[in-house]
Chains A and B, each alone.
Chain A
Amino acid sequence: MIELDARRLMCPMPVIKTQDAIKTMVSGDNLRVTCTDPGVMQDIPAWCRINGHTVLKIEEIDHEFILTIEVGND
């Protein structure tokens, strides 16, 4: 599991950081992104859908939003 800290970043920066992290990973890897901007709840899943990755879990803990993503094939 790769961890990505995207706290205090406002969208679309968490999406960009997620995109850049996934570029360095391979299919089947998992990425856990921790954010504080609630906009990620829409934007990261949307980005994953169009780019072929799967959001495995979305958690909201103490005003933080944590998304676990499985990297897709492409």
Chain B
Amino acid sequence: MATQRKAVALISGGLDSLLAAKVMLEQGIHVEGINFYTGFCVEGHTHAIRKKDKAKPKRNNALWSAEQLGIKLHIIDVIEEYKDVLINPKHGYGQNMNPCLDCKVFMVGKAKEWADENGFDFIITGEVIGQRPMSQRKETMPVISRESGADDRLLRPLCAQNLPETLPEKEGWVNRDELYGFSGRTRKPQMALAEKFGFVDYAQPAGGCCFLTDKAYSVKLTDLWASRGKKEYEIDDIMLLKVGRHFRPKPHFKLIVAREEGENNFLQGYRKQFITLRTMSHKGPLTLLDGTIEDDDLELAAKIVARFSQGRDADTVDVEVAELGEVIKNISVKPFAVDEIQEAWRV
């Protein structure tokens, strides 16, 4: 009896990786999934922050995909290692701060390491030639194979017929004729294949799975680095970029103003790490002050915070200022009028 070959599949939670794994299972390959958590993944914690999103299902699509496929899923924390990918991308950024090609090289490389450590024969991805403008082009496919170190042990079942034969095909572990030759941005072939396999409820195609492809998020990240004078971040920094309205009225500090109750609750968890401002005379948002304060900065910050409270039209609003969870000052300010909040302050 022939040895059952083993493949590790990069599972993002999207349709393509779901289908790629299914194509391998259909060929009798033992498949296990792997999913990397960079800190920028849209999947996961961001569902839990905003109250308005609480009615939406909070399922993690990578876990859901694995369950549909009946395979194990290994979720790997790569937050620390990913910093170098984002800060020093060899192939540069895409339209926003997305280092998609370097990211793919990194993830396939990590999957290869995992495969080597766990006795797996090859790696599969749901990549399709022409699907993504930066990382999924005919020219980039060999770059990913080569630079990740996976070489011909990287198989893309959905577009393999458009690419040179890989080791699993040469060795007869998989039948090339039963792989696919998808290309381009159209999703119709994937949708037809999903229907063939009986997948009716899958993550919506073409949705980005990474905050770094988002323009507004990328602007906030660029501002963070510019304010610090160097490219560096911790996990709390990148989580806070996902939350609230951000204002930088002075180069040395930024305000993060909660937009609703869920964000208020989330920011509460940071009270002991930041200066916080809270309106006391009127209902209002919790605000974090990230940076340092000088002279009249607190009054300026309080006027902005008051603008977003229910006292925005009042003559004065009382604002409590706390540092690392301890109250340091109470001030009364006249809230800024809408036109006093400069557009240039908005991040």
List A contacts of B71 (CB < 8 A). 50
Interface residue A38 (Cβ < 8 Å from any Cβ of B) = yes
- Residue pair B269, A19 in contact (C-beta under 8 Å): no
Q: How many A-B residue pairs have CB under 8 A?
A: 70
Answer yes or no: A56 CB below 8 A from chain B CBs: no
Contact check, B37 vs A39: say whether CB atoms are below 8 A apart.
no
Q: B47 contacts which chain A residues (CB < 8 A)? A: 11, 39
> Which of B60, B64, B67, B76 is in CB contact (< 8 Å) with A11?
B60
Question: Taking the complex as formed, is B230 at the interface, i.e. its CB lies under 8 A from any CB of chain A?
Answer: no
- Contact of A50 with B45 at beta-carbon distance under 8 Å, contacts A8-B269, A12-B37, A43-B63 already known: no
Q: Is A2 an interface residue (CB 8 A)?
A: no
Cβ-defined partner of B63 (8 Å) among A8, A10, A46:
A46
When the two chains form their complex, are residues A38 and B48 in contact, meaning their CB atoms are under 8 A apart? yes
A51 at the interface (CB under 8 A from B): yes
Interface size on B, residues (CB 8 A): 28
Chain A residue contacts of B90, Cβ below 8 A = none
Q: Are A46 and B77 in contact (CB under 8 A)?
A: no
**CB atoms of B44 and A39 under 8 A apart:** yes
Q: Is A21 an interface residue (CB 8 A)?
A: no
Q: How far is the CB of A62 from chain B (nearest CB, A)?
A: 14
Asked if B77 and A51 sit within 8 Å, CB to CB, the answer is: no
| Chain A 8-34 interface 0/1 with B at a Cβ cutoff of 8 Å (1 = within) | 101111011001000000000000000
Contact: A42 with B60, CB < 8 Å?
yes
Q: When chains A and B are docked, how far (Å) is the Cα of A15 from the Cα of B269?
A: 20
Is B44's CB under 8 angstroms from A10's CB? yes
Nearest residue (CB) in B for A51 is B72
Q: How far is the CA of A19 from the CA of B77 in the complex (A)?
A: 11
Q: A39-B44, A42-B60 are in contact. Are A47 and B77 (CB under 8 A)?
A: no
Q: Are B60 and A12 in contact (CB under 8 A)?
A: yes
Tell which of A16, A47, A51 touches B37, judged by Cβ atoms closer than 8 Å.
A16
A17 CA to B48 CA, complexed, in Å: 18
Nearest Cβ distance between residue A11 and chain B, in whole angstroms?
4
- Cross-chain contact A11 with B45 (CB below 8 angstroms): yes
Q: Is the CB of B58 within 8 A of A51?
A: no
- In the bound complex, CA of A49 to CA of B59 (Å): 14
Report A50 CB to chain B, min CB distance, Å.
5
Determine the chain B residues whose CB is within 8 A of the CB of A49 once the complex forms.
67
- Inter-chain CA distance A11–B239, complex, in Å, is 12
**Contacts A16-B37, A42-B60 given; does A47 touch B73 at CB 8 Å:** yes
A residues bordering B, Cβ < 8 Å?
Answer: 8, 10-13, 15-16, 19, 37-39, 42-43, 46-47, 49-52
Q: Can you report 19 residue pairs joining A to B where beta carbons are below 8 Å apart?
A: A8-B269, A10-B44, A10-B46, A11-B45, A11-B60, A12-B43, A12-B44, A12-B75, A13-B37, A37-B48, A38-B48, A39-B44, A39-B58, A42-B59, A42-B60, A43-B60, A46-B59, A47-B75, A49-B67
Footprint of A on B, CB under 8 Å?
Answer: 35, 37, 41, 43-49, 57-60, 63-64, 66-67, 70-77, 239, 269
- 4 closest Cβ pairs, A-B complex: A10-B45, A46-B63, A11-B44, A39-B58
